[in-house]
Structure 1
Amino acid sequence: MVRAAGIDIGTNSFRLLIADLGPGKFVPSCKELNTVRLGEGLGADHLLQPGAIERGIAALAQFAGMIDHYQPRYIRACGTHALRLAANRDLFLARAHSALGFAVEVVDGAEEAALSLRGALFTGKGALEPPLLLVDVGGGSTEMIWLAEHGAPPMIRSLPIGAVNLTEAFAEIAPESLALAAMAGHVRARLKEGLTDLALPAAGCRVVGSGGTATSLGALDLGLAVYDENLVQNHVLGQGRLENIFAVLTALSSEQRLALPGLGEGRGRIIVAGAVIYRELLQLLACDEIVVSDGGLLEGILLSSLPSAAGL
């Protein structure tokens, strides 16, 4: 067994996973999530805000203590959309290096998507078999990965739409019904572009959702008071159920959404925008369900920290 760690520095959340791995073995010893909201206020000037930077460094300092305690042999930390976009990312990266004791890599959209696919297939335990379209809705971007069969090169598109930046972009439109209609139109146009590039088969495909939006929708559908990754993994969320959840969410205020059980800290602020992406996607594909994957980018980052000789 070998111990490894992965850190996902996302637009909304920072996550840490430490696990022991061996042939047929994956035993997590530490899993942490901190809702940093690094991309909050990342507007037209593309500047990380001082408060967001401080929250991020505090979260990484906390992770550093856990890494020191568990002593993983291999570690990789990856930043995604917010750090790809930020004009002042070098300031954050320098402070992150000091907090962690090692460098953070900023991965492009294609690598982020490939890592999400690797993590989802690994944690799916054989239940997630191609052909499939993996869709990871993050805070600042949505990665779509089409895998036709095992061994085939995946086709990847990274779209600049996510639960955080959509929420902020349409926040000033009132009433909310008009904001949601405008958001849906924007999302539909972006998704159409991405799906055209992927050239999916005419017969349709199975959609697998990973990331915080998908798992949160799965938890809501299951009625979980406390999130349970074992119940969420491979849960099938039907389109009709998604429509029902969306109707409930949009009937609530932002404060009421924040109080919903089963959602992570702060997820209620952005869950509607994330749900819009999946609603529009299913409608465009004429697909009637999403298979939810609890595993994805974070697990992919951890696995990618291992040398190829590890065979995992």
Structure 2
Amino acid sequence: MPTQDTPPLKDGDLLAAVDLGSNSFHMVVARYVLGQLRIIDRIKETVRLAEGLDGRGGLDPSVMPRALDCLARFGQRIRTLPPSRVRALATNTVRQLGNPQAFLVPAETALGHGIEVVAGREEARLIYLGVAHGSPPDPGKRRLVMDIGGGSTETIIGEGFQALERESLQMGCIATTRRYFGDGRLSRKRWKEARIELAAEYQPFAERYRRLGWHEAMGSSGTIKAICDVSVKMKLTKVSVTDASLEAIRDKLLDFENISDIKLPGLSAERRPIFAGGLLVLDAAFGALGIERMYVSDHAMREGVLYDLIGRGSPEDPRAESIRAMQARYGVDLDQAARVEATALSLFDQAELAWGLDGDSRRQLAWAARIHEIGLAIAHSQYHQHGAYLVEHADIAGFSRTEQQILAALLRTQRRVINPSSFDKLPDRLVASVQRIALLLRLSVLIHRSHDRDPLPVVELDVDGDELLLRLPKRWLDGHPLTLLDLETERETLAGFGRRLTIRAL
């Protein structure tokens, strides 16, 4: 059964993408016109969030004000846009926080919109999507795309608009500068040793990338653009970075003894403190992957997020395709999944208004129903726990970490006792709605526990706050005594969770 979508995009609608990078925060606002995006506003602010990481999962409080002030300015620009037309993503630095909600809660308040944490490989997919739309690749030709951020580096091989290989490494211009040049001193010996260490990070996938191959390489975001600018100003290249120009820039850089002394043509004062780390990452990548020339794209993850927003409102939603792939990978009983989904969505439609649920909740419930049995591929015992683990920790194209944690919570609480800690990783703003759709999934799974292929009669549900009234035909209940017993047990389980379930015969 199809899920209920948010209102389709219309000509003139505005969309916004916010990228909370480890070095800079970006916002792009675009107008949807004739199926295309027309960029009408770009805002970038250097925040250097990664500078606040303390190596123990904490964030220096001194970086919070500049991050929140920036988001407040972004929020003023997109205050009138509906939530379905705005997507804000946090990347590597927030991924490393031991308690990301300590940052996300005030950040969401400042922005006025929800913020999702995106995993490294999903970040890579969005980067490729942005670059591919900015410079459409030639048909049938593969492209290598690389993005060096403040805390991580994403490397992708794609064809057309599809990312074929995605990797994310814990190295970026800020993190690498701090790691190898934290005292500000530069030396050729230190550079050589660091380059060997970084090149080793590419080894697990370098051979695979080389074997797959690509026709051209493109870099996105500020670090690679800054290196290209220096290459052009030094008259080494015209519109790209080559292995020879990279070597020349490196040799020139290492003529300086300290980062504060660096003076290179085309290098801005803002970029200077983190340039060495970014150059080192690119130098190691060129060597490990055998890159000879790299062009620069003006597009990056934020543009990819905009195009992904369009896809999310269409039948080609990448998340739906990922769910289908999981069903195939784990051998899901598709008929049973469809039965559970149909009942879950029927219950949702009856509870939607009273509980204030939205289209996002409906989609999450539908996807959870489609893959609720994937844990059976591991073992029947505790299969709900196995399924939750798979969903939470897998790389699922199209899903942010936040969305995967929602699915994991739904799968983990589909049966047996509901542990309130199952919802601890979710933002506070989402807990109530996720708990409610979890109840709907539980009832649907329970009603279809027998895997009976016979059509289910009308199931009626009334909800009022924490009270649920479920009505089923008496004849059907009489013919399914085990289900009736399960419903009675469920009533006791929900009572322990602070919910009241009443069962009546029609």
User: What TM-score, normalized to structure 2?
Assistant: 0.54
Name the structure 2 match of 1:301.
305
Give the Å deviation of 1:90.
Answer: 0.8
* Cα deviations by residue, 1:3-62 (Å, 9 ceiling, x for unpaired): 211111011111111112334743322111111110114132121111112211111011
Secondary structure in structure 2 of the residue aligned to 1:165: helix
Give distance in 2, aligned partners of 1:293 and 1:214: 9
Q: CA RMSD in A?
A: 3.0
- Would you say the 8 A contact 1:250–1:272 is kept in 2? no
* Cα deviations by residue, 1:144-194 (Å, 9 ceiling, x for unpaired): 1112x3376511111111111111111346553333223212111102223
Give the Å deviation of 1:133.
Answer: 1.4
Which amino acid in the other structure matches residue 92 of structure 1? F
CA 1:62 to 1:238, structure 2 compared with 1: closer, same or farther past 3 Å? same
| Match 1:271 to one of 269, 275, 284 | 275
1:66 maps to 2:77:
yes
- Would you say the 8 A contact 2:259–2:276 is kept in 1? no
Mean alpha-carbon deviation: is it higher for 96-105 or for 180-189? 180-189
CA 1:172 to 1:238, structure 2 compared with 1: closer, same or farther past 3 Å? closer
* Cα deviations by residue, 1:79-101 (Å, 9 ceiling, x for unpaired): 00000001132111000111111
Name the structure 2 match of 1:227.
none
Alignment of 1:206-225 (within 5 A): 206-223=216-233
Which amino acid in the other structure matches residue 176 of structure 2? L
CA 1:274 to 1:303, structure 2 compared with 1: closer, same or farther past 3 Å? same
| Match 2:259 to one of 254, 257, 264 | 254
Give the Å deviation of 1:126.
Answer: 4.3
| Match 2:123 to one of 112, 136, 140 | 112
Give the Å deviation of 1:73.
Answer: 7.2
CA 1:266 to 1:279, structure 2 compared with 1: closer, same or farther past 3 Å? same
Name the structure 2 match of 1:291.
295
| Match 1:77 to one of 88, 92, 99 | 88
Give distance in 2, aligned partners of 1:56 and 1:193: 35
Mean alpha-carbon deviation: is it higher for 23-32 or for 187-196? 23-32
Give distance in 2, aligned partners of 1:41 and 1:63: 21
Give the Å deviation of 1:264.
Answer: 5.7
Alignment of 1:122-141 (within 5 A): 122-126=133-137, 130-141=141-152
- Would you say the 8 A contact 2:219–2:294 is kept in 1? yes
| Match 2:179 to one of 155, 169, 181 | 169
Give the Å deviation of 1:205.
Answer: 4.9
Give distance in 2, aligned partners of 1:128 and 1:60: 39
- Would you say the 8 A contact 1:12–1:39 is kept in 2? yes
Name the structure 2 match of 1:13.
24
Which amino acid in the other structure matches residue 158 of structure 1? S
Which amino acid in the other structure matches residue 254 of structure 1? I
CA 1:249 to 1:66, structure 2 compared with 1: closer, same or farther past 3 Å? farther
CA 1:72 to 1:85, structure 2 compared with 1: closer, same or farther past 3 Å? closer
Give distance in 1, aligned partners of 2:132 and 2:214: 20
* Identity in percent: 27
Secondary structure in structure 2 of the residue aligned to 1:168: helix
CA 1:128 to 1:42, structure 2 compared with 1: closer, same or farther past 3 Å? farther
1:238 maps to 2:242:
yes
- Would you say the 8 A contact 1:14–1:34 is kept in 2? yes
* Cα deviations by residue, 1:116-155 (Å, 9 ceiling, x for unpaired): 00000001144697311111111111111112x3376511
1:187 maps to 2:198:
yes
Q: Which runs of 4+ in 1 moved over 6 A?
A: 69-73
Secondary structure in structure 1 of the residue aligned to 2:43: strand
CA 1:203 to 1:68, structure 2 compared with 1: closer, same or farther past 3 Å? closer
Give distance in 2, aligned partners of 1:240 and 1:129: 29
CA 1:45 to 1:212, structure 2 compared with 1: closer, same or farther past 3 Å? same
Instruction: Kindly name which structure, 1 or 2, has the bigger radius of gyration based on alpha carbons.
Output: 2
Give distance in 1, aligned partners of 2:259 and 2:99: 30
Name the structure 2 match of 1:44.
55
Higher RCO structure (Cα 8 Å, ≥6 apart): 1
Structure 2: 5+ residue stretches without partners: 1-10, 318-506
* Cα deviations by residue, 1:180-219 (Å, 9 ceiling, x for unpaired): 22321211110222324x4432766532211211111122
Mean alpha-carbon deviation: is it higher for 239-248 or for 161-170? 239-248
Secondary structure in structure 1 of the residue aligned to 2:56: coil
| Match 2:285 to one of 276, 281, 285 | 281
Give distance in 2, aligned partners of 1:19 and 1:260: 35
Structure 1: 5+ residue stretches without partners: 225-231
Mean alpha-carbon deviation: is it higher for 270-279 or for 170-179? 170-179
- Would you say the 8 A contact 1:12–1:35 is kept in 2? yes
Give distance in 1, aligned partners of 2:178 and 2:283: 19
Give the Å deviation of 1:238.
Answer: 1.9
User: What TM-score, normalized to structure 1?
Assistant: 0.85
